[in-house]
Structure 1
Amino acid sequence: MEINNQKSVKGEKTKYKLAHSMKECMLTTSVENITVKQIVENCGLTRQTFYRNFLDKYDLINWYFDKLLLKSFEHMGRGKTVYDALVKKFTYIQEEQAFFAAAFRYDNQNSLRQHDFELILDFYENLIRENTGRSLDEDTHFLLEMYCQSSIFMTIKWVLGEMECTPEKLAQILVMGMPGTLEKLFTESGILN
């Protein structure tokens, strides 16, 4: 058991090392033009190590974003609200603004934009199902998809500097913009005040 735990910790350190290298590369090169060779040479690892951990550079970006999102939303429904989680998420994104601005600019296959949508939609669906004991009906699912897409769109505008506000203000606006049906469901689920 101890050996597996050590391997897991080492694997996480390697992934973070690759993510840090990717962030450094993003300071001077667009995401599309960064190569795996650049990433590994920058941090002293091998291509084999990279591919043992990630499918491609977009998989690396998405993994790093997952880590951020998990930290942001880990306590939602257990004393934390959607607003609290969004503030935390946007604060993390703001701290890593250069990385996320570059990552969100890319909008093709395996993009962070699509990954964020799928991740947050799935997260909300599972949380609602756990807290209410029922799945979403078709209309409510449609509203949740629409809300998640529009939230991500506005988040990207914010990350790219097209709108200026604090993480708290952005979270407040996104919560205020929630359709009434979702607001009621989120309140029932204990994740909205």
Structure 2
Amino acid sequence: MTEEEIERRDSSTNTDSDRVLVTKRAVFRALVELMAERDFDSITVGDILGRSGVSRTTFYRCFEDKYDVVNWSFKRFKNIRIQNKDQFYSFESSLLVMNGYLREYKDYFARALRYRGQNSLRDYMYETNVEYMEQCWRERYGAVDGFGQEAMIRFAAAGMSKIVEEWILGGCAEPDEEVSAAIVALVPQVLREVLY
């Protein structure tokens, strides 16, 4: 492992120092601005660096690439929800907060969702939802036991991801409450009981 790989941070965590978090937010804001001007495919890391004022070395200590920035911006909320689960009284209330965040940045997330290549946000949303649901399940019941439980979690994660994706791509036309309630209603009861 090279020295650079050792120093590189895992952007999927939410345990960054204040300084690193300031840097990540500056990079995120720069990417949001750039994506308001042009397609995600045409944006380079150099463009992000120029807009954010962050050095190349600092960028690569925080992120793997531009796709990692988009994925961090989505997963950051998931990490906050898991780490601060006591502030949410239900799965639906946490979905409402998440949907509000996605609505606030709907143009940014819509542009990111239109990219369909490797490291896409679409795939990452699904993987993150599976990870979140499995973590909630393990906290209550221990290991995910067998194909049936695994299939239930993957099915629910896929449905949730697709509903959110289509909602964002449709301009977040439906109210946040309606989308959250629809997702909650579609998640199997036994799984819904463990989510927060």
TM range (shorter): 0.7 to 0.9
Q: How many residues align?
A: 181
Deviations 1:80-105 (A, max 9, x none): 22211111111110011111111111
Task: Name the Cα RMSD after superposition.
Answer: 2.1
Q: Where does 1:19-168 land on structure 2 (aligned, <5 Å)?
A: 19-76=28-85, 80-161=89-170, 164-168=173-177
Given that residues 91 and 184 in structure 2 are in contact (C-alpha distance below 8 angstroms), is that contact kept between their aligned partners in structure 1? yes
Give the CA deviation at 1:72.
4.1
Q: Partners of 1:46 and 1:134 in 2: how far apart? A: 42
User: Structure 2 vs 1, CA of residues 163 and 59 (structure 1 numbering), >3 Å: closer, same or farther?
Assistant: closer
SS of structure 2 residue aligned to 1:80: coil
User: Structure 2 vs 1, CA of residues 78 and 129 (structure 1 numbering), >3 Å: closer, same or farther?
Assistant: farther
Give the CA deviation at 1:164.
2.5
Give the CA deviation at 1:118.
1.1
% identity of equivalent residues: 26
Q: Where does 1:163-178 land on structure 2 (aligned, <5 Å)?
A: 164-178=173-187
TM-score by length of 1: 0.84
User: Structure 2 vs 1, CA of residues 78 and 48 (structure 1 numbering), >3 Å: closer, same or farther?
Assistant: closer
User: Structure 2 vs 1, CA of residues 156 and 185 (structure 1 numbering), >3 Å: closer, same or farther?
Assistant: closer
Give the CA deviation at 1:77.
7.2
Q: Partners of 1:90 and 1:73 in 2: how far apart? A: 16
Q: Which moved more, 1:142-151 or 1:73-82?
A: 73-82
2:190 matched to 1:184?
yes
Q: Which residue of 1 aligns with 2:6?
A: none
- Matched to 2:52, the amino acid is C
Q: Which moved more, 1:130-139 or 1:69-78?
A: 69-78
What residue ranges of structure 2 are gaps of 5+ in the alignment?
1-15
Q: Which residue of 2 aligns with 1:10?
A: 19
Q: Which residue of 1 aligns with 2:13?
A: none
- Matched to 2:27, the amino acid is L
User: Structure 2 vs 1, CA of residues 27 and 81 (structure 1 numbering), >3 Å: closer, same or farther?
Assistant: same
Q: Partners of 1:15 and 1:91 in 2: how far apart? A: 21
Q: Which residue of 2 aligns with 1:4?
A: none
